[in-house]
Amino acid sequence: MIFNIKNNAFNDENKHSLNYMALASLRGRAFIDFNDEDSTVQDWIDKNDPELWTLIKEYTTTCKSNFKIEHQFEVVNNKEKDNWNLQYPIIKIEEAIKIIDKPYEIWLENGIDDRDFLLLLMAEEIKKYFLDKSDKNQIIFVGKGGLGEIKKHIVSSKDKNHIKNKVFVIFDSDKNKKDNISRQAKEVIEVCSENCLKHHCWNRRAIENYLPIEHLKNKLNKNDRDQKKYSAFLSMNQEQKYYYHMKRGLKDTSCKNSGLYDNIEEMIRENELYSGFGKGIFSKFIRLTNENKNEDEIIRRLIEKKDSSLEIKNLIDNLLNFTRLPS
């Protein structure tokens, strides 16, 4: 996020606020930019810690050339009017400080599994960035509950400008077949769009449908009773795998009645595929990563290999561009 401080904001009346923004930049909370060729700006800087402001300008200029930084604000004197509806909103300096002080929020359904899944998708350098910013409370992962709860939180939010500029929402589609997104997911997409919220609805049914089940199967003992279940799942075609209810299987009515599985032998439908893999399917992958530090990269590459639509790559890029802060 870049705050372009306009010339008229550089005055002694705003000295405390300007210094606050400068220090916030040094602490990794925002990028600060300004026109250092303007005489009014340069005169003020010369009298107020020129080394600090020169350092900030140089750092922001370097980062702008190296990264895509999506969010930008034009920061004006407190006596001027805000305009939040522009591509680059015009805001008072006091409003800029309010935004800087609030962390970015990544809203998820499940604050633990969904967060761990996102981190699992990230290359090591990007993961390190998000974990570092999370430790500093500059980016936080927030579990909001199910789709209905996410919608309620958006609708009931009293500070729409805050959520529009500091919140990214990620949620399951709950599709039972291609292009048949659930009603609740549709409603979340609609309310996000109405409030100009950045959001991503997973193309497949849920996060579990992205997991490389074949990798987990290879770790099982040959006599494990789940071997047949894993084999039955892996024998399905791509669409069946993408929209299968991983936790409940065909026991879930929407999954059973989708018509996708009617061509599978009835005995397999009523046994191996009936009850799914249970709620703990994702935790099995996390256990692998806890036991072996190399598993993170192995699993990530297996998921990436099947990301033919580049859905995951584009999501991580968008998330990083939206939340980009100084290191």
Q: What is the DSSP string of 275-306?
A: S-S-TTHHHHHHHHHHH-TTHHHHHHHHHHHT
What is the Cα–Cα distance from 89 to 124, expressed in whole angstroms? 33
**Percent of all residues in the chain with a pLDDT value above 90, rounded to a whole number:** 80
Phi, psi of 259 (to 5 degrees): 90, -10
Model confidence at 89, pLDDT cuts 50, 70, 90, reads very high
pLDDT (mean) for 59-75: 89
292 has pLDDT over 80: yes
Model confidence at 270, pLDDT cuts 50, 70, 90, reads very high
155 has pLDDT over 90: yes
220 has pLDDT over 80: no
Contact between 15 and 48 under an 8 Å Cβ cutoff? The reply is: yes
pTM of the model: 0.93
The confidence score (pLDDT) of residue 308 equals 84
Q: How many CB atoms lie within 10 A of CB 176?
A: 21
> Which tokens belong to 187?
């409603």
pLDDT (mean) for 28-44: 94
pLDDT (mean) for 25-38: 94
Q: What is the pLDDT of residues 245-268, one digit of tens each?
A: 999 999 999 999 999 999 999 999
**Range from 61-70, 131-140, 220-229 that averages highest in pLDDT:** 131-140
Q: Which residue has the higher pLDDT, 289 or 139?
A: 139
The confidence score (pLDDT) of residue 210 equals 97
The confidence score (pLDDT) of residue 293 equals 82
The confidence score (pLDDT) of residue 218 equals 87
95: nearest Cα among 80, 114, 111, 105: 80
Model confidence at 325, pLDDT cuts 50, 70, 90, reads very high
The secondary structure of 116-132, three-state, reads HHHHHHCCHHHHHHHHH
Alpha carbon 209 to chain centroid, angstroms:
18
pLDDT (mean) for 140-168: 92
The confidence score (pLDDT) of residue 260 equals 96
The confidence score (pLDDT) of residue 160 equals 83
65 has pLDDT over 90: no
What is the Cα–Cα distance from 209 to 202, expressed in whole angstroms? 10
pLDDT (mean) for 201-206: 97
